[in-house]
């Protein structure tokens, strides 16, 4: 099998010999590493009619997104584990992340983990990539289309068994520094355009839930991208972890008949 090329973070999409858009693997954070990719790719967005994102950020009405994730009284985190273990996890997260688990008691553990990841970045971290692309598209009058919806993403998160999410949260609290270093390493790799290395790292971290969080979504994303590219020229911006691998968007779009040329 041909070895996967690591530098596949920004690609041009062709239908035959006609360019119909670009594919950008993003990170949902802001840093010097991500800013370098934004500066490289933003001029290409200006040539496009449309921005395709994982979801249209205009749907992200404050409070509405989290309301869709709220757990029932029976399923809240404090009811999933013994009180001693709950307090142990709470104390660790307070100590290492200054996050109180009790503030997220009725949210899925994976949502809490995402908030912890955000705490790894320094306070002076820049604007997340997705928001930068979104604001530029709106300011220049481009159409913004969500490949997924906020509701569908909430449904995916809710479909992951609570015991799997709780084990991940417990592991996160016990090996906090290891997870922090892995996250910061992923940001560093991103700055080097090491898309396949990032995919391998994400795949390992997601373990048994990679099917729901990566593979199944990739097939739906590829279909949605194909449908939209038949009607417009677009820059497609999705999480970099969706690009590589056997079921990654690069291979799936090729199966749809597209040719992709690596730019960076």
User: So what's the pLDDT on residue 154?
Assistant: 81
Where do the structural domains in the chain lie, given as residue ranges? 1-27+235-264, 57-146+157-189
Q: Decide: 9 and 222 in contact? Cβ < 8 Å.
A: no
User: So what's the pLDDT on residue 58?
Assistant: 81
The dihedrals phi and psi of 13, each to the nearest 5 degrees, come to -110, 130
User: So what's the pLDDT on residue 65?
Assistant: 59
User: So what's the pLDDT on residue 61?
Assistant: 58
Mean pLDDT by 10 residues, the chain (264 residues): 59 95 90 84 94 85 67 90 94 92 93 85 73 93 92 83 92 91 84 72 74 89 96 94 91 96 89
User: So what's the pLDDT on residue 56?
Assistant: 86
């Amino acid at each position: 099998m041909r070895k996967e090329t690591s530098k596949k973070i920004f690609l041009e999409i062709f239908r035959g010999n006609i360019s119909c858009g670009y594919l950008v693997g993003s990170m949902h954070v802001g840093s010097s590493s991500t800013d370098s990719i934004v500066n490289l790719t933003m001029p290409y967005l200006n040539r496009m009619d449309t921005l395709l994102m994982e979801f249209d950020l205009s749907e992200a009405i404050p409070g509405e997104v989290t309301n869709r994730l709220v757990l029932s009284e029976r399923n809240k985190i404090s009811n999933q584990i013994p009180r001693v273990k709950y307090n142990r996890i709470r104390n660790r997260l307070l100590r290492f992340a200054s996050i109180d688990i009790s503030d997220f008691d009725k949210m899925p553990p994976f949502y809490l983990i995402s908030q912890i990841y955000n705490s790894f970045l320094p306070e002076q971290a820049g604007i997340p990539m997705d928001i930068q692309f979104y604001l530029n598209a709106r300011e220049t009058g481009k159409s913004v289309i969500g490949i997924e919806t906020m509701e569908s993403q909430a449904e995916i998160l809710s479909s992951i068994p609570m015991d799997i999410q709780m084990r991940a949260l417990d592991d996160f609290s016990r090996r906090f520094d290891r997870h922090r270093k892995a996250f910061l390493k992923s940001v560093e790799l991103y700055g080097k355009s090491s898309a396949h290395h990032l995919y391998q790292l994400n795949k390992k971290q997601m373990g048994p839930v990679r099917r729901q969080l990566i593979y199944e979504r990739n097939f739906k994303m590829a279909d949605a991208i194909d449908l939209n590219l038949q009607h417009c020229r677009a820059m497609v911006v999705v999480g970099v972890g969706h690009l590589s691998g056997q079921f990654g968007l690069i291979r799936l779009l090729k199966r749809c008949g597209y040719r992709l040329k690596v730019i960076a």
